[in-house]
Amino acid sequence: MSLELVCPAGNLPALKIAVDNGADCVYMGFKDNTNARAFPGLNFDQASAREGIRYAHAKGKKVLLALNTFPQADKWQRWQAAVDNAAELGVDAVILADPGLMQYASRTYPKLRLHLSVQGSATNYEAINFYHEHFGIQRAVIPRVLSLAQVEQVVKNTPVEIELFGFGGLCVMVEGRCSLSSYATGESPNTCGVCSPAKAVRWEQTAQGLESRLNGVLLDRYGANEKTGYPTLCKGRFEVNDETYYAIEEPTSLNTLEMLPQMMEMGIAAIKIEGRQRSPAYVEQVTKVWRAAIDAAKRAPQAYNVNPAWMAQLGKLSEGQQQTLGAYHRPWK
Amino acid sequence: MKLSLGPILYYWDRDTVYDFYAAIAASPVDIVYLGESVCSRRHELRTDDWLDLAGMLASAGKEVVLSCQALIESESDLKALRRIAGNGLFAVEANDMGAVRLLAEAKVPFVVGPHVNVYNTQTLQLLAGLGAMRWVMPVEMSREELVSMQACRPQGMQSEVFAYGRLPLAFSARCFTARHHNLPKDDCRFSCMSDPDGLLLKTREGQPFLVLNGIQTQSAAVYNLVGEIDAMRASGVDVVRISPQSAHTAEIVQQFRTAIDDPAAAREAALRMAELMPDQSCDGYWHGRPGIEQSAAANVRNAA
């Protein structure tokens, strides 16, 4: 099986740049809360989706469509229509999280390929096989919580292809099982496709420093020489027993370049790059580095070494300029 | 409406757990959920101990349900899950789709726990077809959404609402309690045992915000819908869930029982509960607002 590079496309320019720089697949969403990056100014309308699919297919690349939020009872129709639209547009797969929606998609469009989104929270093979048996999912994206040994155990016990996150923003919580954002703001990834939404963020210069607040809750306070970051709820500094620190997670990016040969060896089907909310320039640089790394690892897995230039390049693009192997590396936990 | 007691979410020592359930056996709660649903490293009670407690509570007339872990990662987690799914005596609360698969295969009736994402009727219908008899709505779901769900609920499906306790908001592979003590998770020294109601996390201006409970993150504020009993009844809720805390749980159960049996007494019950909660109350989610908010009408702490 050949390892695929799956790159983020927040808009048409990013999609084209990803395709031009070595993505095997791009993933995108519609312009509403049917996907987990429902940010203002992002995503695809009918015309841009059509053009994006045409562009990618003309170059032999695939387009995946994320419909990975959970339809709420009275708004079901919007998600169902999005599945219809995806099938009509001719995407190569839809990435779903909700079992009800998977059932609809598999019954209505038996030929439409289904991927289980990371938002589906499947962290073990019994869960993945559940989705396979009932809806015929062909690939699952694993939450960023398993160690590499645990991932291997999953791969050995399921016929479903496994996709792992390789680079980008790091969710410290199990995706699909985090309501921290709605606790503070009323909007969560599951229901609204957002986490710590920008409209709830306020920056304020005070006597004690620059403060970031999320719907009034103080997430962090920065000294004059400290670097600021986007105020994601779990990446703020808080007080626990009179100690102030990053109590949940530091602002950092996941980077698994050094694990690439191991991931290929265990039969991972695809590596996903996070970041549909990032700029086309970001997508270009990350895609180039990962293309080069995957090609090198495929050519000579034994001789594979992480090129310092790749790390330097990705380092510049990382949150807080910090990188981690995350849960793949046991001590992180 | 029936009253249930959710699983203990914290790590208490064995004697404390046994004493706790001895008191619960005598309390006016109808359903008791038992088991370790948060962290597989916690082992003060083994599966046999939980089954022992289940037998004791069942003979005291309680309906007993065994709760599964929410985050199932390793082969040993799956082994524990298979043991619970195949227990042969008690119903099981599934908190993961892997558990749903095993329970459906074993044809064991099950409760869909709050950590399985059921946000629409289509998903609930599907689970009903696999053997679900009851579902606990996700904590972030509002009354209005619940009403939409109830309008076309599957035949015989009971609904349960998490109505009291610090809200379980998130799960991680990382243990935040061990992190606080600068310990690796694999050598956590079971430090969460020193925090029987979790470890309080405050903002840098001292606002109680969250509670760290090992790999789980909870709200610092106590979700309290005692003032919404009538609304829950009107929405067709079958079971009202109380989440255990280290002190006063039996009294909280009593206050909810009073409020359920006599709507006129609900306000007084709310007033008495102000002294029994580990922190301020919140009820935002129920009203379709940020979870942390407390509606003015039912502010338990202020009312006191």
pLDDT digits (tens, 9 = 90+) for B67-126: 999 999 999 999 999 999 999 999 999 999 999 999 999 999 999 999 999 999 999 999
A328 part of contact set with chain B, CB < 8 Å: no
Of B194, B179, B78, B95, whose CA–CA distance to B136 is shortest? B95
Please tell me the total count of domains within chain A.
Answer: 2
Distance of CA A252 to the CA centre of its chain: 15
Q: Is the pLDDT of residue B264 over 90?
A: no
For residue B150, what pLDDT band results from cuts at 50, 70 and 90?
A: very high
Query: Residue for token digits 């050949």?
Result: A2
| Domain stops at, among A197, A216, A245 | A245
Same domain for A302 and A164, yes or no, is yes
For residue B8, what pLDDT band results from cuts at 50, 70 and 90?
A: very high
CA triple B16-B18-B20, angle to 5 deg? 65
For residue B297, what pLDDT band results from cuts at 50, 70 and 90?
A: low
Q: How far apart are the first and last CA of chain A?
A: 31
What is the rounded distance in angstroms from the CA atom of residue A232 to the CA atom of residue B79? 36
Helix A99-108 vs helix A76-89: crossing angle, to nearest 10: 40
What is the rounded distance in angstroms from the CA atom of residue B128 to the CA atom of residue B144? 22
From the candidates B101, B144, B182, B207, which should be mutated to test the interface with A, based on the most A CB atoms within 10 A? B101
Query: What would the pLDDT profile of B184-241 be if each residue is shown by its tens digit?
Result: 999 999 999 999 999 999 999 999 999 999 999 999 999 999 999 999 999 999 999 9
pLDDT mean over B287-297: 93
CB contact under 8 A, A124 and B98: yes
For residue B304, what pLDDT band results from cuts at 50, 70 and 90?
A: very low
Same domain for A128 and A48, yes or no, is yes
CB contact under 8 A, B101 and A217: no
CB distance A63 to A18 below 8 Å: no
Same domain for A36 and A143, yes or no, is yes
**CB-facing half-sphere around the CA of A234: CA atoms within 13 A:** 26
Higher pLDDT, A132 or B302: A132
| Domain stops at, among A245, A265, A285 | A245
What is the rounded distance in angstroms from the CA atom of residue B190 to the CA atom of residue B178? 8
Furthest C-alpha separation in chain B: 52
CA triple B177-B167-A32, angle to 5 deg? 105
Same domain for A63 and A126, yes or no, is yes
Considering just the CA atoms, what is the radius of gyration of chain A in Å? 20
Q: Is the pLDDT of residue B61 over 50?
A: yes
Judged by CB atoms within 8 Å, which residues 21-60 of A form the interface with B?
A: none
CA triple A116-A121-A125, angle to 5 deg? 75
- The residue in chain A having the minimum alpha-carbon distance to the alpha carbon of residue B79 is A126
Query: Residue for token digits 């790390």?
Result: A311
A322 part of contact set with chain B, CB < 8 Å: no
- Dump the DSSP string for A90-153: T-SEEEE--HHHHHHHHHH-TTS-EEE-GGG---SHHHHHHHHHHH---EEEPPTT--HHHHHH
CB distance A252 to A323 below 8 Å: yes
pLDDT tens sequence for chain A (333 residues): 589 999 999 999 999 999 999 999 999 999 999 999 999 889 999 999 999 999 999 999 999 999 999 999 889 999 999 999 999 999 999 999 999 999 999 999 999 999 999 999 999 999 999 999 999 999 999 998 888 999 999 999 999 999 999 999 888 999 999 999 999 999 999 999 999 999 999 999 999 999 999 999 999 999 998 989 899 999 999 999 999 999 999 888 899 999 999 999 999 999 999 999 999 999 999 999 999 999 999 999 999 999 999 999 998 888 777 788 888 777 777
**CB-facing half-sphere around the CA of A5: CA atoms within 13 A:** 25
Instruction: Give the pLDDT score at B303.
Output: 43
Cβ–Cβ pairs < 8 A, chains A and B = 207
Same domain for A204 and A92, yes or no, is no
From the candidates B146, B174, B177, which should be mutated to test the interface with A, based on the most A CB atoms within 10 A? B174
Residue A277 lies in a domain: yes
The residues with which B224 forms a beta bridge, in sequence order, are B164
Look up residue A258 and give its two tokens: 């050094």
The residues with which B57 forms a beta bridge, in sequence order, are none
Range of the domain at A221: 180-245
CB contact under 8 A, A331 and B121: no
List the helix and strand counts (H, then E) for chain B: 11, 12
pLDDT mean over B139-144: 98
Among partner residues A177, A215, A333, which is closest to B170 by beta-carbon distance?
A: A177
Residue A82 lies in a domain: yes
Please give the C-alpha separations between residue A7 and each of A23, A26, A66, A311, B104, in angstroms, as whole numbers: 6, 5, 12, 18, 37
A239 part of contact set with chain B, CB < 8 Å: yes
Same domain for A109 and A237, yes or no, is no
What was the ipTM of the complex prediction?
0.96
For residue A330, what are the contacts with CB-CB under 8 A and spacing of at least 6?
A: A147, B186
Same domain for A161 and A285, yes or no, is yes
Range of the domain at B285: 2-303
Same domain for A66 and A136, yes or no, is yes
What is the rounded distance in angstroms from the CA atom of residue A98 to the CA atom of residue A79? 10
CB contact under 8 A, A332 and B174: yes
CA-CA-CA-CA torsion sign (A308, A328, A262, A255): negative
Three-state secondary-structure class, residue B139? coil
Measured between beta carbons, which residues in chain B are less than 8 angstroms from residue A190?
117, 119, 138, 140
CB contact under 8 A, B167 and A183: yes
Q: What is the dihedral of CA B107, B109, B111, B112, to 10 degrees?
A: 30
- Dump the DSSP string for A150-173: HHHHHHHT-SSEEEEEEEEE--SE
CB distance A176 to A143 below 8 Å: yes
Cα of A297 to nearest chain B Cα, Å: 28
Instruction: Give the pLDDT score at A48.
Output: 98
Same domain for A154 and A274, yes or no, is yes
Q: To the nearest whole percent, how much of chain B has pLDDT over 90? A: 93
Residue A137 lies in a domain: yes
Instruction: Outline where DSSP puts E strands in B113-238.
Output: 132-136, 158-172, 199-202, 208-213, 216-224
Q: Is the pLDDT of residue B302 over 50?
A: no
Same domain for A36 and A121, yes or no, is yes
CATH number at residue B75: 3.20.20.70
Residue A175 lies in a domain: no
Q: How do beta strands B132-136 and B158-172 pair?
A: parallel
CB contact under 8 A, A133 and B101: yes
Measured between beta carbons, which residues in chain B are less than 8 angstroms from residue A175?
none
CB contact under 8 A, A241 and B174: no
Among partner residues B97, B139, B203, which is closest to A218 by beta-carbon distance?
A: B203
Of B286, B291, B227, B285, whose CA–CA distance to B256 is shortest? B227
Please tell me the total count of domains within chain B.
Answer: 1
Query: Residue for token digits 């920056």?
Result: A203
Residue A291 lies in a domain: yes
CB contact under 8 A, B205 and A218: yes
- The residue in chain B having the minimum alpha-carbon distance to the alpha carbon of residue A75 is B120
Look up residue A197 and give its two tokens: 């939404």
Among partner residues A183, A237, A248, which is closest to B292 by beta-carbon distance?
A: A183
CB contact under 8 A, A71 and B175: no
CATH number at residue A118: 3.20.20.70
| Domain stops at, among A226, A245, A264 | A245
Same domain for A268 and A191, yes or no, is no
Same domain for A162 and A297, yes or no, is yes
